[in-house]
Structure 1
Amino acid sequence: MKKLLTGILCCFSAVVVAQTKGVVAVVKDPMIDSLIAKRIELNLKPATTGTPGSVSPVRPGTAIVSQVGYRVQIYYGSDRREVYNEQSKFNSSYPELNTYITYKQPNYYLRVGDFRTRLEAQRLLNELRPMFPTLFIFREKINAPNLEPQQ
């Protein structure tokens, strides 16, 4: 009798556990399409750098292209005023290079340039060595520089 009940119980449990194919219904919020359109619109605007009022060398109406490149870090520290002083010191000497200030708790980081190769970043680092004591080269996402031929 125990064997019979065990056999019947096993058959019923196999039927209960068996799964059938289902249908997946994807529910999409209508705001997703508007967010995608907004993202495309923002990518067509010119990029701004970390300094107020300055604009990177991207022509209006063209897409902002990001790529992996190199930047030179010229300062890091926890004093906000000091990082802005270093930024103005650098901008007075090199107004053509973009500066970027980032904050990662508890420090501020001042990085400069959008270099496609490490060699370009190394040239700037060697040039800046007398003015700034702690210099490092970092590989990160950069704003692609304008590649029009110089005349």
Structure 2
Amino acid sequence: MKKAVFDHQAKPAFIKYCIFFVLLIASTQVFAQQTHGRVEVIRDPLVDTLIAKRYEMSSASGVPVAFSSYGYRVQFFSGSNRKDAYNAQARLQSEYPELRTYIIYNEPNFKVRAGDFRTRLEAQKLMQELRASFPSLFIISEKINLPKTDTND
């Protein structure tokens, strides 16, 4: 049986070819990255109007206006029936017309929440009032729409 004979000259030549091809591939990658794109942003004029209005409101009072913050809401209904959710919302609105209510749909459930309370204590007061009408009540911490404060006090 014959032993395999390797050409000692072939090994350095093979390495040179490998290095050449690696450099060739790397150089094409470098040139491929040199293209420049142009991004054009088309902004709705309504955005500028809203920004100006917010600036006007905050500069008029002298205090920066925050329209939303984290607070508490009372969840008084959770179920998969849309009609029941709207009925529960209407029932609460008839008893408390000044209270804001929100319907949230997280598939497959509808959740109805009420109020925009800054403190948990305020939410607990409403929860105690609603306990007779709505048996399953929860206090939920989430981002709320800040209620308007009376600046005349």
TM-score when normalising by structure 1? 0.70
- Residue identity (%): 40
- 1:111 to partner: Cα distance: 0.5
Determine the structure 2 residue equivalent to 1:128: 130
Q: CA RMSD in A?
A: 2.8
SS at structure 2 position matched to 1:38: helix
- 1:101 to partner: Cα distance: 1.2
Q: 1:116 to 1:107 in 2, by over 3 A?
A: same
The answer to whether structure 1 residue 115 and structure 2 residue 117 are counterparts is yes
Determine the structure 1 residue equivalent to 2:101: 99
Point out 4+ residue stretches in structure 1 off by more than 6 angstroms: none
Determine the structure 2 residue equivalent to 1:65: 67
Q: 1:149 to 1:64 in 2, by over 3 A?
A: closer
Determine the structure 2 residue equivalent to 1:52: none
SS at structure 2 position matched to 1:138: strand
- 1:26 to partner: Cα distance: 4.4
- 1:126 to partner: Cα distance: 1.7
Residue-pair matches, total: 131
- 1:29 to partner: Cα distance: 3.8
For structure 2, the 5+ residue unaligned runs are: 1-8, 55-64
The answer to whether structure 1 residue 5 and structure 2 residue 17 are counterparts is no
Q: Hey, what's the Cα distance between the residues in 1 that align with 2:118 and 2:138?
A: 16
Q: Hey, what's the Cα distance between the residues in 2 that align with 1:133 and 1:40?
A: 47
Amino acid at match of 1:28: V
Q: Hey, what's the Cα distance between the residues in 1 that align with 2:152 and 2:96?
A: 18
Determine the structure 2 residue equivalent to 1:51: none
For structure 1, the 5+ residue unaligned runs are: 46-62
